[in-house]
Structure 1
């Protein structure tokens, strides 16, 4: 995910700047329940938007809500990114194939 500069945007600024935003969320899960993870959500928002963190790893045992937390962040901040592509690494492809898939999504949206 690419983060925006640290300035405050009004909704009209965001809409005009990212009318052609690329969002490929076909593989993203649907959020059914979100259980009081708002402090973690605020931490992620702070790291990305205030501290300009480029990479965040969300780690933990299976079933604790890592995917739900990240998807909730994405859903809440769609308009703040010009490119969002959700890929599962459960059955990972080779790096060249993954890069090819990512570039293909970008090229399809440009057409």
Structure 2
């Protein structure tokens, strides 16, 4: 029997970890501008905290929208701002952010 050694099975808990599949970004459209948004950002406690801060007291926490938008759009934050920028004034009207953001979130999760 010594001549016949069996190959040992590797225990299941020693398997190498499976690589996580990279999610494709969701393409949203803001005023005709297509912007890739990483939906995995929503699976983040700090993102949830930013949502909570906005919803808990929107008037007192209105500046939290900047943190929220930066987390949501990541490297595409400037693209988002440029998409809603008023061409005549060069400003990004805060009054347009709410509608644009609602539209983006609806595009990312249309069933909610």
Please classify the TM superposition score into its range, dividing by the shorter chain length: under 0.3
Structure scoring higher RCO (CA < 8 A, sep ≥ 6) equals: 1
TM-score (norm 1): 0.26
Please say which structure displays the higher CA radius of gyration.
Answer: 2
More helix by share: 2
